[in-house]
Amino acid sequence: MISHHLLLCATPSKALCCPDPAIGAASWEALKRLVRELGLEDPARAEGIVLRTKADCLRICAEGPILLIWPEGTVYGGVSPERIESILREHVIGGQPIEQWIIKRMSLKAAA
């Protein structure tokens, strides 16, 4: 079972959202490390595993790096390595989104 899928627009080929690709790369490295360290990819995790994907572009061309959390469609902007840890602990594990960093909420449910 998958609890969350984290899509990070970290190193876009056309960096319209984040002018410093070093921030995106550092955020991606932090995300990989923390998902592992916090045991979020453990198949035995009762809540389900957390997947992570480095995306080239999420088509939100502002306030990057951008992190999209599936399935609820929460989009965080300005995702630094420091913010990654808070987002994982408070939102992904704790279930409490960090409102001041959210730049958009998207419906990812299929239309009926």
How far out from the chain centre does Cα 95 lie? 14
Instruction: State the pTM of this model.
Output: 0.87
CATH fold of 2-105 reads Glutaredoxin (3.40.30)
Provide the pLDDT confidence category of residue 62 given band limits of 50, 70 and 90: confident
List pLDDT tens digits, range 20-59: 778 888 999 999 999 999 999 999 999 999 999 998 777 7
Per-residue model confidence (pLDDT) at position 80: 92
Residue of 55, 48, 52 whose CA lies nearest to 12: 55
Angle at 70 between CA 65 and CA 75, to 5 degrees: 35
Q: How far apart are CA 89 and CA 65, in angstroms?
A: 19
Per-residue model confidence (pLDDT) at position 13: 62
List pLDDT tens digits, range 64-98: 789 999 999 999 999 999 999 999 999 999 999 99
